[in-house]
Amino acid sequence: MEFSHRLELFGPEIFAALNDKKVALEAEGRHLYNLSVGTPDFAPAPHIKQALIDAAQDDENWKYSLRDLPELLQAVCDYYQRRFGVDSITPDRVMSFSGSQDGIGHLGLALCNDGDVVLLPDPCYPVFMTGCMLGGAKPWYYRLTRENHFLPDVSSIPEEVARAAKLMLVSLPANPVGSIGTPELYAEIVAFCRKYDILLVHDNAYSDIIFDGAHGGSIFNTPGAEECAVEFFSLSKSFNVTGARISFLVGRPDVVAACKKLRTQIDFGMFLPIQKAAIAALTGPLDGVQRQCAEYQRRRDALCGGLRSIGWNVPDSHGSMFVWAPIPAGYESSMDFCLELIEKANVICTPGSSFGPSGEGYVRFALTMPVEKIRQAVEAIAASGMICRS
């Protein structure tokens, strides 16, 4: 049987491959330090779990939902006012998705035609590329370079590319590179997209994981963004509900309506007990989210500072739950380095080559273990002999 040619657009799924390796080594009795997949090791707050449990007791909630509950949409609007100080979000500007990965993966199908140009950061999370190509669009990569602190530089995009572009995806705080935006940078990006009539798609999964006193906001804190932007807003990392797959597309009502139209053809809506859990998260206390951010910063310090202390010059991440590390001297392939790191140090990270053309030469660590475990992982790397002091 001949399968869809679309499958040829995608290489092997790196996270699945790493997990297969992890399972095989654990079967051998190896103790591994898994810093690859970005799923929090913190527990959801009790009131979120209780809301799901209570809703699951109602037999009516086990039927197709067919829609986002009005109280859920209003909870998102109220949260944007409470958390970001944005009071212009109304229910017609909000829809749920089963995780931002699902939403971004389907975005091209709703918005793009064959040959449309989409501006993607390089490096970027792999689904950015997937969503673009599934929609038949052509990616044009704007590079995130070390010299520019891994931040978007719209001045580097040629005039003819800007005029041809339909969408621009931006992720700040950024996965995988850990950079964060400033109001001035957001203003530049919004002005660029308005000038060239480009839809700005902002992936805002990590606004609550931001370090050194910086403030994580929304793209809608930037004047003019309402005219040209939508934002993927996720509960996964802030509230530790990654498996529940709760995110929202927020912004221009015409874009939200187009995505809703596509979704009605392939989905019957988010499980109602999960919607109830989302409402509890959005309307509940946020002090735990802030304490969690402080703990992520302690983990960042333990990993980056610890690696520097053994001779691996890894810069501090400024946000997100990830650290972007140049591979040490003597290695040419990020995948080869990752595989050797597993074998010699029992530490799992993700090769940068899976994050786009410019990702080669780097690896990504996820801050998904307590500080003491991270220190043990650093000691294991030091003992492996893979890091040569310069």
Domain stop point among 229, 255, 283: 283
Same domain, 171 and 243: yes
Tell me the pLDDT of the chain averaged across its residues. Answer: 94
CB of 320 within 8 A of CB of 89? no
Whole-number pLDDT of residue 106: 93
What's the CATH number where 187 sits? 3.40.640.10
Contacts of 261 (CB under 8 A, 6+ apart): 110
pTM above 0.85, yes or no: yes
Residue 390: inside a domain, yes or no? no
Task: Please compute the mean of the pLDDT values over residues 327-335 and round it to a whole number.
Answer: 90
Whole-number pLDDT of residue 209: 97
Whole-number pLDDT of residue 390: 40
Checking if the pLDDT of 367 tops 90, the result is yes
Residue 389: inside a domain, yes or no? no
Q: In which residue are the tokens 């038949």 written?
A: 136
Q: What's the pLDDT tens digit per position in 89-106? A: 999 999 999 999 999 999
Same domain, 53 and 158: yes
Checking if the pLDDT of 19 tops 80, the result is no
Tokens, residue 364: 């990504």
Checking if the pLDDT of 12 tops 70, the result is no
Residue 13: inside a domain, yes or no? yes
Domain stop point among 283, 313, 343: 283
Whole-number pLDDT of residue 100: 94
Domain count, the chain: 2
Higher pLDDT, 21 or 171: 171
- % pLDDT > 70, the chain: 98
3-state helix, strand, coil in the chain (%, to 5): 50, 15, 35
Checking if the pLDDT of 166 tops 90, the result is yes
Same domain, 233 and 311: no
State whether residue 346 is helix, strand or coil.
coil
Domain stop point among 256, 283, 310: 283
What range defines the domain where residue 376 resides?
5-43+287-384
Same domain, 339 and 203: no
Checking if the pLDDT of 25 tops 90, the result is no
Contacts of 358 (CB under 8 A, 6+ apart): 122, 123, 141, 143, 144, 145
Q: What's the pLDDT tens digit per position in 215-250? A: 999 999 999 999 999 999 999 999 999 999 999 999
